Structure 1
Amino acid sequence: MTQEKFLCDIGFIGLGVMGKNLVLNLADNGFNIAAFDLSAEKVQAVIAQDEEENTTGKQRVYGCSSYTELLSQLKAPHLIVLSVPAGAPVDQVCENLIGAGIQPDDIIIDTGNSLWVDTVAREAKYKNNFLLFSSAVSGGEVGARFGPSLMPSGSPYAWARVKPIWEAISAKVNSETGKPMERTEPGQIITEGEPCAAYIGPAGAGHYVKMVHNGIEYADMQIICEAYHVLKDGLNLNCAEIADIFEEWNNGPLDSYLMEISVEVLRHHSSDTNTPLVELILDKAGQKGTGLWTAMSSLELGCPAPTIAQAVYARSISSFKDLRVQASSLLGGAEEASFSHDEKSQVIAQLHDAMYCAKICAYAQGFQLMKLAGKEHGWTLDFGSIAKIWRAGCIIRAVFLQSITNAYDRDEKLENLLLDDFFIKELNSRQQNWRKAICHATMQGVPIGALSSSLAYYDSMRSETLPANLLQAQRDFFGAHTFERTDKPAGKKYHVEWSTKDKNTILIDG
């Protein structure tokens, strides 16, 4: 393929796994790319891959060796996409582009997992230098290559320019079935269906929504892992048997990308030992921070998200491998038990319902958190639209998301998914199995923090009265923090001198 210079539609900085695949996706959809990376090898690699996969006979990706050259190869006003690590690298690239001569009407799109408050600060910091626009990307390397879920936010003017590009490269959903549009042949570009890209709101809103997406992802993964643990250690099933169960479950309401890949993982055998590879992987989980950010935000806003938080804790406790090994020989556990075939089948059915109910709770927590954050920061978030763009392309894509879209179509002001008629029916019909599954796992000594914390959340939400009355009394006893009374007008605060003979209640303010 001949190398020829041209003015490109889009500049792209950062050619790691995600960046390289986004570049190729953009090229497939008819956009010419000027690409730059600090590593010249990565620049040449993406050009070589595009030449190998490109059937048009025309050059689509042009490599640049500097920020100045990148700008010189772009149509004005410039549109530049960043795929660099969150934090200081984003600011460094922005400063370098300023030095290279970027203009105030140029647009820079940050596609990394930046902390949303950093995005808000950057938009204000650089507003006189260029338009900073953010667009969180979900779907991993395959999603980036063939269609991710995109959560853009920032300047509406910038979105008007970016929208046709983002809608072209995003995943697509069949509007009738709510399921992802799939390629039927290699190299096919999907143009039909609803694009999984929608404007989220002002600066920071998109990265916040992506953060919550990742928090839900943590919870969903942990729920699946706990089910695997119950089946493996609680029922003594092998990986092949568990894979068969997960595959069957993936044909029902638990149908999701994460279930699908879990089946593949469980069936994958190590080439050198011919045993299930998952059994050879060290049980120490990593994390990059977005789940932690979600849990921290839930605490800051006072929005309960115990399933998400428990998933973060589960990863943390897994890192204490040496301590766990030591404790395993010292601390007692459950008595061994055997189960008949019918009993195993019963436990498996109960576990299915427990997973589904916990999944509902995890999403309910995430969507309520976004709702409270929207009120706190003045964002008008369209939750039906958010659920729609998560139906394909992203890591938590699942048939289940169509039910969430339907819930917000019925009531766009829905306070919590647990109050939607569909989810009320699902939870009410399955909650007894959920409880039995928790009992089984507990009696077998299998840790199920996400499944059990979800049940505690459910029971708390359905409780008209909680023991917070005693807690308020305790707080007033040791700290004079006051309390309200059920038999008095709302808003009036009272305090009692608890340790004296005079137990009269004192009105503090009215």
Structure 2
Amino acid sequence: MVGPTRIGLAGLTVMGQNLALNIAEKGFKISVYNRTTSKADETVESVKKEINLPLYGFHDHNSFVQTIQKSRLIIMLVKVGPPVDQTIITLSNYLEKGDCIIDGGNEWYENTERREKATAKLGLLYHGMGVSGGEEGARNGPSMMPGGSFQAFKYIEDILLKVAAQLIAEAYDVLKSAGKLSNEELHHVFSEWNKGELLSFLVEITADIFGIKDDKGEGYLVDKERVEAAKVFKSSGVGDILTEQEVDKKKLIDDVRQALYASKICSYAQGMNLIRAKSAEKGWDLKLGELARFWKGGCIIRAIFLDRIKKAYDRNPELANLLVDPEFSKEIIERQHWWRRVVCLTIKSGITVLGMSSSLSYFDTYRRDRLPANLVQAQRDYFGAHT
């Protein structure tokens, strides 16, 4: 007979399994359940063979729920959408007032709000909690964003992740296409960058990627995706544009580093501003500095300057934009020369850098006290006069 466990977890995906192991390893007794019962058995057996942690699997909802101590706390890690609603309905048949369900999936925040209201009518507590960090993060220290913080993060998560990765991809493209750096050189460059101000999970794995060769011995993995596209455009003259550029590799590497860092500041500034705006609209009263602290541990966007973002909001909780923080504004102003030079080079070389160029446009738009929107308005007024 299993005694009361501290927490339950429903949904034994790779993330679910590893999060359950992490919780058990911290000394908390945990009950686990999966719709496919063999998954629960597999998880329990693997634990017994290796470390015999206080983790217990169950084949039915009732047994699963009844083993958890009151007031019950259950984390769900199931596929977003209808499966979440179905799991809530099923669990609620066995739960009591005051019990809490936590959705650890990547759900849209409005669905989380809807479910929170629906479960409240049953006397249940409901929280959204984004869990980021992948298999390794879930096992060894995920970034967990509960409640309001999670709702805000879901509003901007895809943008932050895409921008963070896109900027690095663009840096790679400039160095590879304009600078003609080999994969060995790229591995060295990104490894060095990961020792300084660009230290981050994404820069780290990028460095690792350039050191990996295809298992079949056919070259580096990142090159294969370029080959077919290059064949299509070979006769168009685009390739000739790139070969005409004379580039100093050492100088280019430093230019791209400066441009990447400046663009990264802008991407976080935009992300924080979107979260700030949504927080004001919804009345969440989010602490942006705390969000930066959450993301620093285990999250895919974790980076060393998240500490500095937290400090910026600690210094001024009402900070309108990271770009006007004294430290960040000084850094971005100092780097704009190299940033503009890289963007100009990419235009001349026919290299697309939507992330870097749009970040630069955002900076230029934000810093100017006058924009051409007044002409657009005048045009509209003029058009209106003829209707």
For Structure 1 versus Structure 2, the TM-score category normalised by the shorter chain is over 0.9
Contact 1:33/1:62 (CA < 8 Å) preserved in 2?
Answer: yes
| Superposed displacement of residue 408, structure 1 | 0.8
1:465 paired to 2:382? no
Q: 1:446 aligns with which of 351, 356, 366?
A: 351
Tell me which residue corresponds to 1:389: 294
Question: Cα 1:346–1:325, aligned 2, differ >3 Å: closer, same or farther?
Answer: closer
Report the Cα distance in structure 2 between the residues aligned to 1:213 and 1:134, rounded to whole angstroms. Answer: 14
Written as runs of structure 1 = structure 2, the 5 A alignment for 1:41-440 is: 41-54=38-51, 60-99=54-93, 101-129=94-122, 130-153=124-147, 201=148, 205-273=149-217, 275-280=219-224, 282=225, 328=233, 331-333=236-238, 335-337=241-243, 343-440=248-345
Tell me which residue corresponds to 2:21: 24
Question: Cα 1:234–1:272, aligned 2, differ >3 Å: closer, same or farther?
Answer: same
| Superposed displacement of residue 67, structure 1 | 0.9
Tell me which residue corresponds to 1:171: none
| Superposed displacement of residue 355, structure 1 | 0.3
Contact 1:80/1:107 (CA < 8 Å) preserved in 2?
Answer: yes
C-alpha RMSD of the superposition: 2.1
Contact 2:21/2:139 (CA < 8 Å) preserved in 1?
Answer: yes
Report the Cα distance in structure 1 between the residues aligned to 2:367 and 2:49, rounded to whole angstroms. Answer: 58
Deviations 1:299-354 (A, max 9, x none): xxxxxxxxxxxxxxxxxxxxxx99x779736755362436667x121111111111
Tell me which residue corresponds to 1:12: 9
Gaps of 5+ in 2: none
Once the two structures are overlaid, the 10-residue window that deviates more, 324-333 or 430-439, is 324-333
Instruction: Report the 3-state secondary structure (helix = DSSP H, G, I; strand = E; otherwise coil) of the residue aligned with 1:466.
Output: coil
Deviations 1:97-122 (A, max 9, x none): 123x2112111010111100111111
Contact 1:212/1:366 (CA < 8 Å) preserved in 2?
Answer: yes
For this pair of structures, how many residues does the alignment match? 385
Q: TM-score, normalised by structure 1?
A: 0.72
Contact 2:109/2:154 (CA < 8 Å) preserved in 1?
Answer: no
Report the Cα distance in structure 1 between the residues aligned to 2:144 and 2:118, rounded to whole angstroms. Answer: 24
Instruction: Report the 3-state secondary structure (helix = DSSP H, G, I; strand = E; otherwise coil) of the residue aligned with 2:102.
Output: strand
Instruction: Report the 3-state secondary structure (helix = DSSP H, G, I; strand = E; otherwise coil) of the residue aligned with 2:241.
Output: coil
Report the Cα distance in structure 2 between the residues aligned to 1:25 and 1:102, rounded to whole angstroms. Answer: 25
Residue identity in the other structure for 1:77: S
| Superposed displacement of residue 380, structure 1 | 0.6
| Superposed displacement of residue 53, structure 1 | 3.4
Residue identity in the other structure for 1:335: I
Deviations 1:149-200 (A, max 9, x none): 11111xxxxxxxxxxxxxxxxxxxxxxxxxxxxxxxxxxxxxxxxxxxxxxx
Deviations 1:444-490 (A, max 9, x none): 11111101111111111111111101111222233x3xxxxxxxxxx
Instruction: Report the 3-state secondary structure (helix = DSSP H, G, I; strand = E; otherwise coil) of the residue aligned with 1:81.
Output: strand
Contact 2:177/2:242 (CA < 8 Å) preserved in 1?
Answer: no
Report the Cα distance in structure 2 between the residues aligned to 1:437 and 1:325, rounded to whole angstroms. Answer: 23
Contact 1:136/1:150 (CA < 8 Å) preserved in 2?
Answer: yes
Deviations 1:226-259 (A, max 9, x none): 1111111122212111111111111111110110
Contact 1:390/1:397 (CA < 8 Å) preserved in 2?
Answer: yes
Q: TM-score, normalised by structure 2?
A: 0.94
Report the Cα distance in structure 1 between the residues aligned to 2:96 and 2:272, rounded to whole angstroms. Answer: 38
Report the Cα distance in structure 2 between the residues aligned to 1:252 and 1:339, rounded to whole angstroms. Answer: 29
Tell me which residue corresponds to 1:308: none
